Structure 1
Amino acid sequence: MAIKEVVRKWIWNRTWLARLVFPLVNCFHYGKNLIKYGVADPKIYFVFKGKTLVYLTNSKAAQTTITNTNGNKIKKEYSGLQTGRKIRQLSKEEQEYFKFTFVRNPYERLYSCYRSKLKADKQKYGKRYGDFDFYLLGYLKQDKGFAKFVEKVTKVPYWLSDRHFKPQSYLVYKDNTYPLDLVGRLENIEEEFEPIRLRFELDKLPHLNDSTITKEDWRDAYTPELIDKVTNYYKSDLDLWYPEAEAQLRKYVTSTYS
């Protein structure tokens, strides 16, 4: 095990030290990324091992499922990352590969982010710290309900946004160095991924990352006021890929509140 990883685990297991060190480390990485890429949390590309295929990773939009289609035999969450490599910049050769990603309804995606990162993950994986514990010095650490989460997230500038709630239009088109060949919608993933699967001889889509919201309707978390905030923040996402989503959600919420 690398010395760097040993030191990291030693610090991680000492709560008081982790709370002091990791926020500073995160700030350092954010600063470095801002200088190099212009954003705090830059794009990550997944290059499929042995394939001329590149996936622009998009958190909370079947990322785990997609990366587990390249001969992964373990079939456990995150194990698919062994079937390719994650990089921030593509080589000249890789730029010619077929490049794709999938996007998700912004309203549903944001609620999935909230449920996963502030509630389910700590219980599911026994994490001592959540993904947002050290993000922006703990700005999103405390779970004060979905409404408060929305209020805070929608105040974060796009260039500071975390990958789990970053506007997908910003992810795809900001500094569009490597234009994508396909941007599919999560609702159509079975249909839209199939030509890619056949062309590159991938496995069928596994369903590894069970949704954290299968037992409840994410639409019930919304009020008219929350719809306004999320709509404004993700306007480009909605205009590009989900022009019908706002009206559908407002209709549902109106019928619920009436």
Structure 2
Amino acid sequence: MSGTTGKGPDMISHKYKCIFIHIPKCAGTSIEDALGHFDGYEGRDMQDHRSIRMIEPLSLDLALFLSKDNVMELAKRIYIARFHKNTNTNNKITVNRSQYSSYFKFTFVRNPWARIYSMYRNIMNDEIHMHNYGVDKNCTFNQFISKWAGKRMLRSQVHYLKNFKGEIPLDFIGRFENLDEDFKYVCRKIGACNISLPHKNKGSGGGYRAHYDEVSENIVANVYREEIELFGYSFHS
């Protein structure tokens, strides 16, 4: 698939010359909606959760095989490109080497304790998600964390951002906690100041801290240690 495939702005936007890495539960659905990723499409599987390794142009390099995670991302990339039938075709748009190098690459991250609780709420409110994650309505938050922390859509945020050499080649990392201001900065950088940010999949209720005990708090601290240190998060921040 060529680097010019696609009708308009999306996770990879040729119009705005940008690449957005959508980490689950970090306001990415709202951002993709603002950039037109869902235009002409309704249904499930709208979002594009490809990691940077599933987008960067490949070259024959031993770095591709330096880690199990690299090999798994490479295999997933091949599977999605050749076999996966995603009904939102925008999720398969690619970039060539020149575009990848020059496009503005950005993402948004979130406090991992808040992110995991948000994912739990999302899954427990959707029967299809519950089935896919093998949980029922009686699954407690602690049970969920013990089973799924660091796996599938709850993989470390750093997992989505590292290239095959272990670097994070992004131009800007915004924060969920400063979403409106950081997204305005992104819009200025890509020349899209007329775009407003809708709030999709917005949660309700109180804060995440009340739902943790010492055990679950420590599980998150250990599983997501790298991103906590890299982005300066803490349980109370």
What is the TM-score normalised by the length of structure 1?
A: 0.61
Higher relative contact order (CA 8 A, sep 6+): 2
Tell me how far 1:88 sits from its aligned partner. Answer: 8.1
User: 1:23: which partner in 2?
Assistant: none
Q: Residue 116 of structure 1: which of 122, 126, 138 is its match? A: 122
Task: Give the aligned CA root-mean-square deviation in angstroms.
Answer: 3.2
Superposed counterparts of 1:115-154, under 5 Å: 115-117=121-123, 119-122=124-127, 129-130=128-129, 133-134=131-132, 138=134, 140=135, 143-154=138-149
Q: Which residue number in structure 1 is paired with residue 77 of structure 2? A: none
Give 3-state SS (helix, strand or coil) of 2:179's partner. Answer: helix
Per the alignment, residue 209 of structure 2 pairs with: 219
1:68 deviates by: 1.6
Query: Aligned equivalents of 2:217 and 2:191: distance in 1?
Result: 41
Give the distance between the partners of 2:126 and 2:191, measured in 1 at CA.
32
SS of residue in 1 equivalent to 2:107: strand
Contact 1:56 1:101 in 2 (8 A): yes
In structure 2, the residue corresponding to 1:133 is in which secondary structure?
A: helix
- What 5-or-longer segments of structure 2 have no aligned partner? 1-9, 49-86
- Any residues of structure 2 matched to 1:30-109 within 5 Å, and which? 46-70=11-35, 85-87=90-92, 90-96=95-101, 97-109=103-115
Q: In structure 2, do the counterparts of structure 1 residues 152 and 177 end up closer, same or farther at CA, with 3 Å as the change threshold?
A: same
What is the one-letter code of the residue matched to 2:131?
A: D
Map of 2:51 onto structure 1: none
The residue number in structure 2 matching 1:197 is 187
Partner amino acid for 1:169?
Answer: V
Shift of 1:77: 9.0
Q: Report deviation, 1:65.
A: 0.8
Contact 1:167 1:237 in 2 (8 A): yes
What is the deviation of 1:193? 1.8
Instruction: For 1:102, give the aligned amino acid.
Output: F
> What is the letter of the counterpart of residue 110 of structure 1?
I
- In structure 1, what is the Cα distance between the partners aligned to 2:172 and 2:91? 19
- For these two proteins, the number of residue pairs brought into alignment is 184
Distance 1:195 1:67 in 2: 16
Residue range with higher mean Cα deviation, 193-202 or 52-61:
193-202
Query: Matches of 1:88 and 1:227 in 2, distance apart?
Result: 38
Task: Name the CA distance, whole Å, in 2 between partners of 1:73 and 1:150.
Answer: 34
In the alignment, residue 54 of structure 1 is paired with which amino acid?
I
Matched with 2:73 is none
Change (3 A) 1:231 1:47: same
User: Which of the residues 172, 196, 201 maps onto 1:209?
Assistant: 201
In 2, distance between residues paired with 1:49 and 1:88? 10
What SS does the corresponding residue of 1:230 show, helix, strand or coil?
helix
Larger helix fraction of residues: 1
Question: What residue number does 1:27 align with?
Answer: none
AA paired with 1:109?
A: R
Q: Does 1:239 align with 2:229?
A: yes
Which ranges of structure 1 fall in alignment gaps of 5 or more residues? 1-44, 123-128, 250-258
Q: Distance in 2 between matches of 1:199 and 1:84?
A: 26
SS at match of 1:60: coil
Runs (4+) of structure 1 moved beyond 3 Å?
71-74, 76-84, 87-90, 140-143
Aligned in 2, Cα 1:195/1:91: closer, same or farther, shift over 3 Å? Answer: same
